Amino acid sequence: MKLTKWIFIGTVIYLAAFLIDYFVTLFSIDESGIYRSKLGLQIDMTMNEEELFTTFSLTTQVLFTYLAWLVILCISVLILRKFRTRTSTA
Using one digit for the tens of pLDDT, what is the confidence trace for 3-21? 889 999 999 999 999 999 9
Instruction: Give me the number of domains the chain comprises.
Output: 1
H-helix or E-strand containing 41? strand 41-47
| Cα–Cα nearest to 7, from 74, 80, 67, 76 | 74
Containing structural domain, residue 48: 3-89
3-state helix, strand, coil split of the chain in percent (to 5) is 60, 20, 20
pLDDT band at 89 (very low <50, low <70, confident <90, very high): low
Specify which residues 44 forms β-bridges with.
34, 55
What is the pLDDT at residue 73? Answer: 94
For the chain, the distance separating the N- and C-terminal CA atoms, rounded to the nearest angstrom, is: 22
Query: pLDDT per residue over 21-69, tens digit each?
Result: 999 998 998 888 999 999 999 999 998 888 889 999 999 999 999 999 9
